[in-house]
Amino acid sequence: MISQFFILSSKGDPLIYKDFRGDSGGRDVAELFYRKLTGLPGDESPVVMHHHGRHFIHIRHSGLYLVVTTSENVSPFSLLELLSRLATLLGDYCGSLGEGTISRNVALVYELLDEVLDYGYVQTTSTEMLRNFIQTEAVVSKPFSLFDLSSVGLFGAETQQSKVAPSSAASRPVLSSRSDQSQKNEVFLDVVERLSVLIASNGSLLKVDVQGEIRLKSFLPSGSEMRIGLTEEFCVGKSELRGYGPGIRVDEVSFHSSVNLDEFESHRILRLQPPQGEVRLTVMRYQLSDDLPSPLPFRLFPSVQWDRGSGRLQVYLKLRCDLLSKSQALNVRLHLPLPRGVVSLSQELSSPEQKAELAEGALRWDLPRVQGGSQLSGLFQMDVPGPPGPPSHGLSTSASPLGLGPASLSFELPRHTCSGLQVRFLRLAFRPCGNANPHKWVRHLSHSDAYVIRI
């Protein structure tokens, strides 16, 4: 049971504060929370903190702190899940989650909280149930534009393509039940994978981990059955075998409780009865580790020359993109921590659209776009100051200087899934009366979670 809920800006200003039970100190707890959080030593976890019989549990989301207090020994899993759900819900209703949108929509947020929690107990968090009760309309800062390129991330990646999905349409606020429904009928189905990889300094692969999700956003006015066909060779677990090829294999799958799996065993079809109106849900989650069907998207070949005597450090990085030649990676950024106090940088880059700079003790190499099959390189020279070591001898000659590496890459791979999983089709078993066919957007995207290469 929750005593209080509040949202703080990244600077600790209270944006929302609600006391559900009136049993605890009052509103200065928000300030107390922020003080405790900022005063915490680095090795202690801020996730759960304690003060005078009260537990603070919080998540950070979009630069905001969403915090609950409770005096009971609650389930941390449920509470964190609730906080994430609240973040999604507020984002859905306000259009996006951020300091600006929250403070513009204070009334809406309170209205939502009032329906979601009563006396500190969760009542419902389902978007479509809440729609019946929410009366306030979201205040948005600017009108939606189909070609708004400013939104980044999942949908931003696609806008640079010729076949554009309306980038901001999927981030428009949920509309209350009484507002007019004249907008387009649209369904978004996204297969999103997060890739985390660790490569040893000798190039051997230490770890691959893919976390995937199929997300549905439906703005259809009337709901009836929806069928999602997945790759037929989709296998779950190490032992299952399907089709004649190597198959698409994942280790674990879980489905949203509303998914009907009658046709899953036979045809890999998910049936879904989305409730009426706007729906946002994660249809399926899956994960796989170690065996990827396709080569890794990037290989990095670093070579480091380090003259301890003069403090001269030369790093040559060659980056090869192993995607198919018709695919490409976007917003590629390489981050390489450097020894403390590195001062100068001279660079030679293999193409003009790249950029590299020294920032916060690290080298940042930006490659806006990398075509599959291509190879890019950069040569960086730096000076590492400090007392010149004795002429190198013994154990330290070969080693690169302390503090160099590991390199980490971040990127987005539009229209690519690392697991190979594809949505074959998305069928809607209904015709909205009088309206044109609904627009269906099926998109695939992989992005890096942690792609680390030891130097």
Partner 1 sequence: MPYLGSEDVVKELKKALCNPHIQADRLRYRNVIQRVIRYMTQGLDMSGVFMEMVKASATVDIVQKKLVYLYMCTYAPLKPDLALLAINTLCKDCSDPNPMVRGLALRSMCSLRMPGVQEYIQQPILNGLRDKASYVRRVAVLGCAKMHNLHGDSEVDGALVNELYSLLRDQDPIVVVNCLRSLEEILKQEGGVVINKPIAHHLLNRMSKLDQWGQAEVLNFLLRYQPRSEEELFDILNLLDSFLKSSSPGVVMGATKLFLILAKMFPHVQTDVLVRVKGPLLAACSSESRELCFVALCHVRQILHSLPGHFSSHYKKFFCSYSEPHYIKLQKVEVLCELVNDENVQQVLEELRGYCTDVSADFAQAAIFAIGGIARTYTDQCVQILTELLGLRQEHITTVVVQTFRDLVWLCPQCTEAVCQALPGCEENIQDSEVDCNSPLLLEEEKDMAVRDRGLFYYRLLLVGIDEVKRILCSPKSDPTLGLLEDPAERPVNSWASDFNTLVPVYGKAHWATISKCQGAERCDPELPKTSSFAASGPLIPEENKERVQELPDSGALMLVPNRQLTADYFEKTWLSLKVAHQQVLPWRGEFHPDTLQMALQVVNIQTIAMSRAGSRPWKAYLSAQDDTGCLFLTELLLEPGNSEMQISVKQNEARTETLNSFISVLETVIGTIEEIKS
Positions 164 through 223 that interact with partner 1 (CB under 8 A): 194, 196, 198, 200, 206-207, 209, 211
Stretch that binds partner 1, among 227-235, 271-279, 335-343, 369-377 (CB under 8 A): 335-343
Q: Find how far residue 436's CA is from the centre of its chain.
A: 33
Supply 361's token pair: 């003790």
- Is residue 59 within the footprint of partner 1 (CB under 8 A)? yes
- Is residue 228 within the footprint of partner 1 (CB under 8 A)? no
- Is residue 52 within the footprint of partner 1 (CB under 8 A)? yes
- Is residue 335 within the footprint of partner 1 (CB under 8 A)? yes
Rounded CA separation 328/446 (Å): 11
In angstroms, give the least distance from the CB of 275 to partner 1.
12
Measured from the CB atom, the residue of 130 and 169 that comes closer to partner 1 is 130
- Is residue 251 within the footprint of partner 1 (CB under 8 A)? yes
- Is residue 395 within the footprint of partner 1 (CB under 8 A)? yes
- Is residue 254 within the footprint of partner 1 (CB under 8 A)? yes
Measured from the CB atom, the residue of 39 and 245 that comes closer to partner 1 is 39
Over the window 148 to 167, marking each residue x when it contacts partner 1 by CB under 8 A and - when it does not, the resulting string is --------------------
Distances (CA, A) of 222 to 125, 185, 187, 195, 218: 20, 10, 12, 36, 10
Among 123, 177, 181, 314, binds partner 1 (CB under 8 A): 123
Other C-beta atoms within 10 Å of 151: how many? Answer: 14
- Is residue 136 within the footprint of partner 1 (CB under 8 A)? yes
Strand order in the sheet with 328-337: 252-255, 279-289, 205-218, 186-199, 439-453, 407-414, 328-337, 362-371, 355-359
In angstroms, give the least distance from the CB of 244 to partner 1.
28
Measured from the CB atom, the residue of 109 and 428 that comes closer to partner 1 is 109
- Determine whether 12 is exposed, middle or buried from the number of CB atoms within 10 Å of its CB (0-12, 13-18, 19+): middle
Among 38, 162, 182, 257, binds partner 1 (CB under 8 A): 257
Helix (H) or strand (E) holding 370: strand 362-371
- Is residue 45 within the footprint of partner 1 (CB under 8 A)? yes
Among 37, 62, 80, 177, binds partner 1 (CB under 8 A): 80
- Is residue 107 within the footprint of partner 1 (CB under 8 A)? yes
Rounded CA separation 83/65 (Å): 10
Single-letter code of the amino acid located at 12: G
In angstroms, give the least distance from the CB of 14 to partner 1.
6
Rounded CA separation 177/72 (Å): 37
Q: In which residue are the tokens 């076949």 written?
A: 163
- Is residue 75 within the footprint of partner 1 (CB under 8 A)? yes
142 Cβ contact partners less than 8 Å away, ≥ 6 residues apart: none
Output phi, psi for 209, to 5 deg.
-145, 125
Among 2, 58, 130, 189, binds partner 1 (CB under 8 A): 58
Among 9, 17, 318, 371, binds partner 1 (CB under 8 A): 17
Single-letter code of the amino acid located at 300: L
Among 51, 364, 415, 424, binds partner 1 (CB under 8 A): 51
In this structure, is the dihedral angle defined by the CA atoms of residues 264, 267, 273 and 277, taken in order, positive or negative? positive
- Is residue 330 within the footprint of partner 1 (CB under 8 A)? no
Rounded CA separation 319/334 (Å): 10
Binders of partner 1 among 285-304, rule CB under 8 A? 285, 287, 289-290
In angstroms, give the least distance from the CB of 55 to partner 1.
6
- Is residue 375 within the footprint of partner 1 (CB under 8 A)? no
Binders of partner 1 among 409-428, rule CB under 8 A? none
Measured from the CB atom, the residue of 198 and 296 that comes closer to partner 1 is 198
- Is residue 449 within the footprint of partner 1 (CB under 8 A)? yes
Tell me what percent of the chain is helix, strand and coil, each rounded to the nearest 5: 15, 40, 45
Among 35, 63, 124, 357, binds partner 1 (CB under 8 A): 124
Measured from the CB atom, the residue of 171 and 408 that comes closer to partner 1 is 408
In angstroms, give the least distance from the CB of 430 to partner 1.
25
For 206-234, b where at least 16 C-beta lie within 10 A, e where not — what string? eebbbbbebbbbbbbbebeebbbbbbebb
Output phi, psi for 405, to 5 deg.
80, 180
